[in-house]
Amino acid sequence: MLVGLLGPVMVEAADGTRAAVGGPRVRALLGLLALEAGRVVPAARLVDGVWGEDPPAGTGNALQTLASRLRTAVPMVRNDGGGYVLDVPPEDVDAHRFAGEIEAGRALLAEGETERAARCFDAALALWRGEPLVDAGDSEVLRAAALRLTEQRLEGIELRADALLALGRGGEVLRELHAEVAAHPFRETLAARLVRALAAAGRPSEAMREYQRVEALLREELGTAPAEVLRSALAELHADAPAVSAVSAIEEPAVPRASAPPLPRRHTSFVGRGPDVEGVRRALREARLVTLSGTGGVGKTRLAVETVGAHAADWADGYAFVELAALERERADRPAVTAVGVAIANVLTRFEGPDELCSGWAGVLERTLSGRRMLLVLDNCEHVVEAVARLIDDLLQRLPLLRVLTTSREPIGVDGERLYPVRTLDLPRAEADFPAATASPAVRLFIDRATAALPDFTLSESNSAEVRTIVRSLDGMPLAIELAAARLRSLPLPELSARLADRFRLLTNNTRHAEPRHRTLQAAVAWSWELLTEAEAAAARRFSIFAGGASLDAATRVCGPDAIDMVDSLVAKSLVDFDGQRYRMAETIRAYAAAELTAAGEADEVARLHADCFLDFIDAAAQGLRTAAQPDWLARLITEHGNCDAALRWALDTGDGERAVRLYGNLVWYWLLRGLRGDISARRREVLALVGDAPPPECTGAYLACRYAEELPAYFTNIWWGQIQDSTGEFERLTRSALTEKRPPHPMFVLILALRDLLGDDDGLLTECITSDDPWLRGNALIAKGFDELGGDHPARALPTLEAAVTCLGRYGDARSHSRALISLASYRTRMLGLDSARPLITSALGLLNPDLGAGERMGVHLFAAEMYLVGGDTDSAATHLERAEALFTPHLIPSPGRFLAATQAHLAHLRGDNDRALELFRRMSEQPLPAGPPPARCHDTVRFVNLVFVSTVYAATLVAADRPDDALPELAVARELAAQTSAALLAEVGIGYALVDLALGAPGRAARVLGATDRINRRAGVSRIGPFRRRALDRAEAALGPVRSSSEFLAGARLTDEEVLDLLRTAR
């Protein structure tokens, strides 16, 4: 597939057919996503890009609708939490493919591979079909993108001209250059290529006329002389054709050329910022003032130096780099305009005594910069930002050819300013393996600086985890990483990692040439902190309590009613980051602010406010997880994981039992969805150690979740009475007590209590659950009732009950309960009516899987799907889902996952004829004991043993196929006795295994009687399916006995009572 942006927006399939992308806004959305192919684009940026300054009232819903329309043409568009992503490789977008070809050609040109370079430029330019994004709307974001793409195209045309001129083929580009010069009359770089191409084609007079035409245009329209790039083309023309003497008569303006000092010395290699250099270069082409903004130590100065050093030729009349860090901080009574002006003038004129310019610096700037295409770089502006703003505003108004690049921890605040945020370096994922960690810019910087400090240092499989931890704990901040790596001279890597908790004491720099503010990590942060007002400092101190960032609502609640303004100020001053939805403080700054919070004596008060804020959030989230909004609440909980954990940690550390119990009792449902069993266990021990054996007042419901958290079922499994393994009556007492309090228990505990009452034939509470106003309780109670009916005298009654559960939870309930209902109904239909009746249900259950769910939950649903497909004989579909389950397998995610997985693998292997592998897998399954549990409880335990009984039949069939029928009998005996105590329908399934054994042992008549008996039980239960094992047994019995005798024995078995069937199975030998 190819997404086309270099012309009208289009989508082209691999066979060349094009899909319609309807509506300007749909095309705008595709364009915005394609420009960032493979990366998440925040929703706020998409709204700006699609609707500009006139967004609709409900932007979220409008954007979702637009994305749905786009998916009809481009299915690879998906939602990713805070935004959307076009999930295709960049090379599937013509704009990215174009950029790649241009960069490849540029590199080849630099290496002297001119012919190959020309082919790259040809391939790149051939991708253009017209004006970029021409039919994708007219928002400012898209206009800027189109302008940027057009600039890249012109640069490609110029590079192609350079390549063909070098190959002696300049005549081939004349027509194209004439057209582009006419379209862009003030672009001197294009005009210079045309002058050179005309000269190379043997037409020097035309070349001269072209130069003179452009020169006259520049003087008349802009009041300036040609830049160096065009004058160089003229000089080459003059050198090649000395007879053209009129050139020498052209007068140059008597404006003194600025003599720029060298850039600041670069003592180390430049790592991880290559794309940023090009990004800054593009920004300077599109805006006259660009500010590199970011926190201290992030690398703003270095990026500015590298950009200017790499692309100095972009500014025909040079550049000037002015360092402002040494200037005194401006105050209301001491403006800094003169000091800044003198600093700039000193650089421009190379004066040694700044005092000599105090009265004349403005004139120096005017004389030196006027009429020149120059870049003025002002470094470290944040402490004199008002003065810099006044000067820049004045210079840009009076000097139309000037461009300015500033570095500052806050915006300059001048109209037309383009902010270029300098982010911390990209980090490896927390679980990244060795190759992935090595690819991270943050890790590469650490390796580079570590090698400088310790030449023998190398990154390896054994130490990559520690390096990954170090760079992640330092947020990818270059200064912090450099200071940490330098410490390897005196600290082993593990010790360095362990000591980062005290980062300000540890991370110092003894390098003599380092700026004072960069010699310690603390000094770098303190430089920014001292620029804050008292109100900003107070907000920053309070904001440090947030772990992992905060929403605006949370920040307002904890930081006070003025938080909106104060946090915005902190964002502007690069102490807080904002991604369009959420505010975050880098860990290094957060550590500094937290120390300030403690020093101010505010830590306890702010921590309490934070804990209460997230206690309310978690209360709401626990209820939201039981509704149709579950995916949204789960995503919010993932985002707030750090804050929730910090709130619970504070409650535990301060001995606040009530808050600790309530926080844990609600968080457990989130941990369960995410598969965070380790958090469930560890925090449970701490909470119970704090509160003991009795719940705090009015907290019994939350205490139940603490007390029995490790016994809660995974969402893809069913709820049954024995889930809580308590025989003391304590569970019942606590649950009934919780029902009388203002904060009731989670409905799962109410349902388990109802099922335990049902063991004593008391169905009152279950009836209340089934008629409850709470859809979660009503739907899950219907599932439990359906399985209870499956074990009763009329199993067919379970079907409408389970269908009612699916309807209830599909309409009102949460996704996981809906999935549980779908799985339950699909299991019934597959085993009773056949796979075809269950396929849509299986598909729906799989469609409800969410990547935010824990691996155990996703694995369980895929295993269920695989097992259902195996029961129905569809081995290909089973294999697909079994592979997906295997990829997610991690021990201890769910009770006995290995046993469940091995049984399914064995089932597939047997049906595919690989009996040896099936036996090996069953052996592994047998080595893993069944989970402990209470004795069977008659018909009420059918759901508990369904899978075990069906697996025993498969195992028996496998052993029979391996000529080991005698070994199958002990396996079947266990299943037989469980079935006898629970459900006749399960006894019928066990009977199929016995029939296969009887056939193998030479007793086909007995096998036919068993099959007849199981057929009667199945008909009574409403089973019409004939599965692969039953079909195998029927066919073999008829083959051994003949149709007449087989039918006679079958009918004899059909007359047996359930008790007689059980006796028949027990006498098998």
Q: Work out the pLDDT band at 245, boundaries 50, 70, 90.
A: very low
Q: What pLDDT is recorded for position 509?
A: 57
Helix (H) or strand (E) holding 583: strand 583-584
Whose CA is closest to 718, among 855, 894, 851, 934?
894
CB 192 within 8 A of CB 229: yes
pLDDT tens digits, one per residue of 689-745: 999 989 999 999 999 999 999 888 888 788 888 888 888 899 999 999 999 999 999
Q: What pLDDT is recorded for position 898?
A: 66
Q: What pLDDT is recorded for position 708?
A: 93
Instruction: Look up the pTM and report it.
Output: 0.67
What count of other Cβ atoms lies within 10 Å of the Cβ of residue 1021? 22
**Dihedral sign from CA coordinates of 819, 821, 826, 828:** positive
- Region 878-907 average pLDDT: 78
**Residue 892 region by backbone torsions, left for phi larger than 0, else alpha for psi between -120 and 50, else beta:** left
Judging by beta carbons within 10 Å of its beta carbon (0-12, 13-18, 19+), is residue 183 exposed, middle or buried?
Answer: exposed
Q: For tokens 């060795």, name the residue.
A: 434
Q: What pLDDT is recorded for position 868?
A: 93
Whose CA is closest to 214, among 233, 238, 236, 241?
233
Whose CA is closest to 343, among 367, 366, 324?
324
* Rg (the chain; Cα; Å): 37
Query: Taking 50 as the threshold, does the pLDDT of residue 512 lie above it?
Result: no
Q: How far is 850 from 78, CA to CA, in rounded Å?
A: 12
Q: What pLDDT is recorded for position 985?
A: 81
Amino acid at 997: V
Detail the DSSP E strand segments found in 286-380. 289-293, 319-323, 375-379
What are the φ and ψ backbone dihedral angles of 440, each rounded to 5 degrees? -75, 130
3-state DSSP assignment of residue 561: coil
Q: How far is 117 from 164, CA to CA, in rounded Å?
A: 9
Mark 335-346 as b/e (b = at least 16 C-beta within 10 Å).
ebbebbbbbbbb
Q: What pLDDT is recorded for position 701?
A: 95
- Taking each helix axis from N to C end, the angle separating 441-453 and 464-473, rounded to the nearest 10 degrees, works out to 110
Q: For tokens 């096998």, name the residue.
A: 1007
Query: Taking 70 as the threshold, does the pLDDT of residue 4 lie above it?
Result: yes
By mean pLDDT, which of 39-53, 167-181, 319-333, 338-352 is the weakest? Answer: 338-352
Angle formed at CA 55 by CA 49 and CA 56, multiple of 5 degrees? 135
Judging by beta carbons within 10 Å of its beta carbon (0-12, 13-18, 19+), is residue 468 exposed, middle or buried?
Answer: buried
Q: What pLDDT is recorded for position 246?
A: 27
Q: Work out the pLDDT band at 573, boundaries 50, 70, 90.
A: confident
Amino acid at 860: G
Helix (H) or strand (E) holding 970: helix 965-982
Q: How far is 105 from 115, CA to CA, in rounded Å?
A: 9
**Residue 488: partners with Cβ closer than 8 Å, 6 or more residues away:** 450, 453, 454, 457, 496
Q: For tokens 């807080």, name the residue.
A: 576
CATH classification of 274-421, choosing from 1.20.1250.20, 3.30.450.30, 3.40.50.300, 3.40.190.10?
Answer: 3.40.50.300
CB 987 within 8 A of CB 1062: yes
For the chain, what are the domain ranges? 274-421, 434-522, 532-579, 612-712, 956-1069
Whose CA is closest to 30, among 143, 138, 131, 136?
136
Q: How far is 373 from 225, CA to CA, in rounded Å?
A: 10
pLDDT tens digits, one per residue of 748-774: 999 999 999 988 889 999 999 999 999
Q: How far is 866 from 900, CA to CA, in rounded Å?
A: 11
Whose CA is closest to 482, among 442, 512, 522?
442
Q: What pLDDT is recorded for position 357?
A: 42
Angle formed at CA 874 by CA 873 and CA 876, multiple of 5 degrees? 140
- Region 808-833 average pLDDT: 92
Whose CA is closest to 576, among 543, 614, 554?
543
Q: Work out the pLDDT band at 688, boundaries 50, 70, 90.
A: very high
Judging by beta carbons within 10 Å of its beta carbon (0-12, 13-18, 19+), is residue 660 exposed, middle or buried?
Answer: buried
What are the φ and ψ backbone dihedral angles of 402, each rounded to 5 degrees? -80, 140
- Region 361-380 average pLDDT: 85
Q: What pLDDT is recorded for position 961?
A: 92
Q: Which residues pair with 407 in a beta bridge?
A: 292
Residue 1042 is given by DSSP the state -
- Region 858-886 average pLDDT: 92
Helix (H) or strand (E) holding 11: strand 10-12
pLDDT tens digits, one per residue of 907-917: 999 999 999 99
Cα separations (Å) of 71 from 33, 44, 540, 613? 12, 20, 42, 38
Q: What pLDDT is recorded for position 290?
A: 95
Query: Taking 80 as the threshold, does the pLDDT of residue 835 lie above it?
Result: yes
Query: Taking 80 as the threshold, does the pLDDT of residue 897 lie above it?
Result: no
Query: Taking 60 as the threshold, does the pLDDT of residue 352 lie above it?
Result: no
Whose CA is closest to 318, among 361, 393, 371, 381?
371
Q: Work out the pLDDT band at 266, boundaries 50, 70, 90.
A: low
By mean pLDDT, which of 239-248, 306-315, 626-635, 642-651 is the weakest? Answer: 239-248
Q: How far is 12 from 74, CA to CA, in rounded Å?
A: 10
Residue 91 is given by DSSP the state G
Amino acid at 52: G
Q: Work out the pLDDT band at 244, boundaries 50, 70, 90.
A: very low
Largest interatomic CA distance in the chain: 123
Query: Taking 50 as the threshold, does the pLDDT of residue 896 lie above it?
Result: no
Q: How far is 810 from 841, CA to CA, in rounded Å?
A: 12
pLDDT tens digits, one per residue of 379-438: 989 888 999 999 999 999 888 889 999 999 889 999 999 999 988 888 888 778 778 888
pLDDT tens digits, one per residue of 128-173: 888 898 888 878 788 888 888 888 899 999 999 989 888 888 778 8
3-state secondary structure 26-83: HHHHHHHHHHCCCCCEEHHHHHHHHHCCCCCCCHHHHHHHHHHHHHCCCCCEEECCCE
**Dihedral sign from CA coordinates of 953, 955, 958, 964:** negative
Q: What pLDDT is recorded for position 358?
A: 45
pLDDT tens digits, one per residue of 66-98: 888 888 788 888 887 678 898 889 889 999 999
Q: How far is 981 from 968, CA to CA, in rounded Å?
A: 21
Q: What pLDDT is recorded for position 932?
A: 66
Q: How far is 488 from 448, CA to CA, in rounded Å?
A: 12
3-state DSSP assignment of residue 170: helix
- Region 920-947 average pLDDT: 75
What count of other Cβ atoms lies within 10 Å of the Cβ of residue 641? 18
Query: Taking 80 as the threshold, does the pLDDT of residue 243 lie above it?
Result: no
3-state DSSP assignment of residue 483: helix
> Tokens for 1062?
């059980």
3-state DSSP assignment of residue 478: helix
Q: How far is 450 from 437, CA to CA, in rounded Å?
A: 15
In a 13 Å sphere around the CA of 58, the CA atoms on its Cβ side amount to: 5
**Dihedral sign from CA coordinates of 2, 4, 9, 10:** negative
CB 10 within 8 A of CB 4: yes
Cα separations (Å) of 605 from 541, 544, 608, 664, 984? 12, 13, 5, 21, 63
